[in-house]
Amino acid sequence: MSYVIEAHNLTKIYNPKTIPVYAVNGVDLQVEEGEFTALVGPSGSGKTTLLNLIGGLDYPTTGDVKIAGVDITKMSENKLIDFRLQNIGFVFQAYNLIPVLTASENVEFVMLMQKKPKREREQHAIELLKEVGLSDRLNNRPTELSGGQQQRVAVARALASKPRFILADEPTANLDSKSTENLLDIMAKLNKEDKMTFIFSTHDQRVIDKARRVVTLVDGKIVSDEKQTQSS
Amino acid sequence: MYFKLAWRNMWRSRRRTIITISSIFFAMIFAILMRVIIIGMFDKMISDTVSMSCGYLQIHHNGYWENKSVDSTFEETPRVTFILDKEKEITAWTPRLETFALASSGERTKGMLVIGIDPKKENAISKLSQKLVAGKYLQDSDKYILLAQGLAEYLKLKVNDTVILLGQGYQGSMAAAKYPIKGIVKLGIPEMNKGMAWLPMACARDFLSTGARYTSISIMVNNRNNLAALKQNIKRQIGGNEYEVMTWQEMVPELDQLFQAKLGQNEIMSGVLYLVIAFGIFGTILMMLNERMHEFGILIAVGMRKGILARVVVMEMILMSIVGTILGMGGAFPIVLYFRVHPIHMSGVWGKEMEQFNFEPILQPSMDFSNFIIQGYAVLSIAVLLSTYAIYKIYRIKAIAAINS
Ligand SMILES: Nc1ncnc2c1ncn2[C@@H]1O[C@H](COP(=O)(O)OP(=O)(O)OP(=O)(O)O)[C@@H](O)[C@H]1O
Ligand SMILES: [Mg+2]
């Protein structure tokens, strides 16, 4: 079985010359296709840092990250941008969207950068927004959407590039419980039906409960890595 | 979509965009007005001067310009006039036989320029007949003289009075004659109005004993910006070195220098306006970069190349400048057109000031659209130049840091 993500002996040290902070400290992590994995741990434990390293947004101090067998830690910045575009979907904590574009234009945007033809972009954007339950919000701008709706558009956008996996750093942190549940249900559905791989960090126990694998970080180290059967 | 994005981004902070655009708009209008007024003033001055005196180009005997002597004249030559007739750039040409002489009414005497003209050809260039304030215009066979108004006033002469001319004729001969005044013309340029007179060519030749000779052929052209090339062209066609071809800049360098100096001053003034625009645009760029850092970070994270991002941002700045520029041109146009049709007659201090510099005290802006375009280019270049700062900033963005900002 090959992995979508293989991180080996991953370390990220901030301020190596003054007061070194081992944000991620010798992490080994493999993720298979189709996983639905939560990254948990106390504040400052290195969740965001680890996600950034896996997502090619930051370079590790030592160690390597392979995405579908390709080592991304040696790539130039421009190569990495293209690699992210083709392989990785991102959902950030908040304000993910371009404010001047409508929901469907936001989703289309990544496909535009992938140079997909207009027809395909438009159709696919409508499909995706339908999947996240926003077919009636296609032409609304982000400011006209609730926080939960915005995050769902962000998920649709992350899916639009047909990535190998989606990284989400605390995607529900700014949402109320109803929106949180709704977003997680959508992600779980996409994971189940389309085999989309998700890795998300969270502090929220209800979100953790939905995960099938829970990786716990403390002080930049993985202290537990457990599979769990989904509570319905 | 990139265009759409740039366009909508531009209207994101509507107020700031409107302020930036209106600063460009007003600066453009001022810069254009200043420029077309100066150029219009000189267009008139130059065309008045050269049509009355030397032409945009002049052909004369080699050496004539040095000593201005009637001895350096040349005989009528169909070969040269044939060349001039078939040159498309040339709108009109006229032969002249001119010299300095004394004009006297008996009571008063004054030095002045007397010019032998071909009345029809001369009129096509200097429109002398339209400048008549008394009497009639000359005919070929007349034995009359035409005086400039200032000169006539000084000499206290009226139409039909007789004026006595004294001067030096061909090869040192004594020239003296008297002619009745047929008409009096008023010239816009004060200096000229005080000291010019015209005779039909035959009279002038008679007066100066030159025979069938000219001192010069003055040439008018379509476009005074192409003179150097035209000069070379004519020179080459005439060949030899019996003749010399000169441009007005070579013949009246002080006028050209004054023009260039005023243009220079004007450019400094425009420069100040542009500095204002530049600060406006730069402020907008700074604020925009600041406000949108988070968004830029997200865009780069999800796979937007920095080059494309920079292009969208630059497009936005340029779009804004283009809108301001076009509005500015559009705003200036009717104003310029209005004053073109209704020139301002300057009176009082300003008018006196202009007359002192030998300008007719009339402000009539130039309608040459290139003056609009030049200002437009200037604004756009500023926008492009300042946008490079945005490009620089964008290339230095670190996605994570930007997202966290
Ligand atoms: N740019 C940085 N410079 C210096 N130290 C940093 C930087 N980013 C993060 N850190 C430090 O690295 C450690 C890990 O931070 P990280 O943001 O990855 O934690 P986290 O698990 O995501 O926390 P939270 O749950 O609060 O989001 C922390 O001690 C943090 O202070
Ligand atoms: Mg975090």
Rounded CA gap, A170 and A182, in Å? 15
Q: Is the CB of A23 under 6 A from ligand 1?
A: yes
pLDDT digits (tens, 9 = 90+) for A145-181: 999 999 999 999 999 999 999 999 999 999 999 999 9
Residues 6 or more apart from B404 whose CB is under 8 A from it? B294, B297
Whether B162 has a pLDDT exceeding 80, the answer reads yes
- The one-character DSSP state at B369 is T
Whether B241 has a pLDDT exceeding 90, the answer reads no
Q: Which of A85, A90, A95 lies nearest to residue B294, judging by beta carbons?
A: A95
Residues 6 or more apart from A108 whose CB is under 8 A from it? A121, A122, A124, A125, A160, B1
Residues 65-94, chain A: which have Cβ within 8 Å of B? 78, 81-82, 84-86, 89-90, 92
Rounded CA gap, A7 and A50, in Å? 10
Rg of chain B on CA atoms, in Å: 30
Domain ranges of chain B: 2-48+256-403, 54-251
Q: What percent of chain A is helix, strand and coil (3-state, nearest 5)? A: 35, 25, 35
**Rounded (10°) CA dihedral B82, B88, B90, B91:** 110
pLDDT digits (tens, 9 = 90+) for B305-353: 999 999 999 999 999 999 999 999 999 999 999 999 998 888 888 888 7
- The one-character DSSP state at B358 is T
Q: Which residues pair with B100 in a beta bridge?
A: B113
Q: What stretch of H or E contains A210?
A: helix A205-210
Nearest CA-CA distance, residue A57 and chain B, Å: 7
pLDDT digits (tens, 9 = 90+) for B103-150: 999 889 999 999 999 999 999 998 899 999 999 999 999 999 999 999
Of A161, A102, A165, A157, nearest to A132 by C-alpha is A157
What are the C-alpha distances in Å from A126 to residues A97, A102, A129, B189, B299? 16, 12, 5, 75, 21
Of A81, A4, A13, nearest to A46 by C-alpha is A13
- Whole-number pLDDT of residue A139: 95
Which residues from B are below 8 Å from A when comparing CB atoms? Answer: 1-2, 4-5, 8-9, 12, 294-295, 298-306, 308, 399-400, 403
Whether A125 has a pLDDT exceeding 80, the answer reads yes
Percent of chain B with pLDDT over 90: 60
Place of tokens 């992490």: A27
Place of tokens 């004294």: B166
Residues 6 or more apart from B186 whose CB is under 8 A from it? B131, B133, B148, B149, B193
Rounded CA gap, B60 and B267, in Å? 36
Contact status, residue B317 vs residue B285, Cβ threshold 8 Å? yes
DSSP secondary structure of A10-63: EEEEESTTSS-EEEEEEEEEEE-TT-EEEEE-STTSSHHHHHHHHTTSS--SEE
Contact B1 A52 (CB under 8 A): no
Query: Which ligand neighbours the alpha carbon of A12 most closely?
Result: 1
- Whole-number pLDDT of residue A232: 46
Q: Are strands A165-169 and A88-91 parallel, antiparallel or unpaired?
A: parallel
Average pLDDT over residues B283-298: 92
Pick among A54, A83, A100, A112 to test the B interface (most B CBs inside 10 A): A100
Q: Are strands B196-200 and B145-148 parallel, antiparallel or unpaired?
A: antiparallel
Q: Any CB–CB contact under 8 A between A163 and chain B? A: no
Atom from ligand 1 closest to the CA of residue A220: 14
Q: Compute the distance from residue B9 Cα to the ligand 2 centre, in Å.
A: 30
pLDDT digits (tens, 9 = 90+) for B11-69: 888 898 999 899 889 989 999 999 999 889 888 888 888 888 889 999 999 989 888 88
Rounded CA gap, A48 and A202, in Å? 10
Contact A84 B308 (CB under 8 A): no
What are the C-alpha distances in Å from A96 to residues A78, A122, B21, B328? 21, 20, 30, 38
- Evaluate whether ipTM surpasses 0.95: no
Q: Which residues pair with B344 in a beta bridge?
A: B363
HEC sequence for B202-262? HHHHHHHCCCCEECEEEEEECCHHHHHHHHHHHHHHHCCCCEEEEEHHHHCHHHHHHHHHH
Say which range, A35-39, A104-108, B378-382, has the weakest mean pLDDT: B378-382
Better-scored residue on pLDDT, A232 or A91: A91
- φ, ψ (nearest 5 deg) of residue A228: -135, 145
- Residue B178 CA neighbour count, 13 Å, CB half: 8
pLDDT digits (tens, 9 = 90+) for A173-232: 999 999 999 999 999 999 999 899 999 999 999 999 999 999 999 999 999 999 988 654
- The one-character DSSP state at A97 is S
Of B39, B24, B22, nearest to B273 by C-alpha is B24
Whether B369 has a pLDDT exceeding 60, the answer reads yes
- φ, ψ (nearest 5 deg) of residue B181: -85, 125
Q: Which residues pair with A91 in a beta bridge?
A: A168
Say which range, A203-207, B149-153, B355-359, has the weakest mean pLDDT: B355-359
Token digits of residue B29: 């209008």
Place of tokens 């510099």: B357
Contact status, residue B218 vs residue B92, Cβ threshold 8 Å? no
Average pLDDT over residues B257-279: 90
pLDDT digits (tens, 9 = 90+) for A32-84: 999 999 999 999 999 999 999 999 999 999 999 999 999 999 999 999 999 99
- Whole-number pLDDT of residue A1: 57
User: If you average pLDDT over every residue of chain B, what do you get?
Assistant: 91
pLDDT digits (tens, 9 = 90+) for B62-100: 989 888 888 888 888 888 889 999 988 899 999 999 999
Helix (H, G, I), strand (E, B) or coil at A232: coil
Contact status, residue B162 vs residue B178, Cβ threshold 8 Å? yes
Contact status, residue B72 vs residue B60, Cβ threshold 8 Å? yes
